[in-house]
Amino acid sequence: MVLTVYQYPKCGTCRKALKWLDENDVEYDSIHIVEHPPSQDELKSFIQKSDLPAKKFFNTSGKKYRELGLKDKLKDMSEDEMTKLLASDGMLIKRPIATDGEKVTVGFKEETFEENWK
CATH classification code of 3-117:
3.40.30.10
Measured from the Cβ of residue 1, the count of other Cβ atoms closer than 10 Å reads 8
Phi, psi of 17 (to 5 degrees): -65, -45
The strand pair at 28-32 and 3-7 is best described as parallel
Ranges of each domain in the chain: 3-117
37-51 pLDDT per residue, tens:
999 999 999 999 999
pLDDT in the model for residue 111: 97
* Distance between CA atoms of residues 61 and 23, nearest Å: 27
Q: Are 21 and 3 in contact (CB under 8 A)?
A: yes
Asked whether the predicted pLDDT for residue 1 surpasses 80, the reply is no
40-94 pLDDT per residue, tens:
999 999 999 999 999 999 999 999 999 999 999 999 999 999 999 999 999 999 9
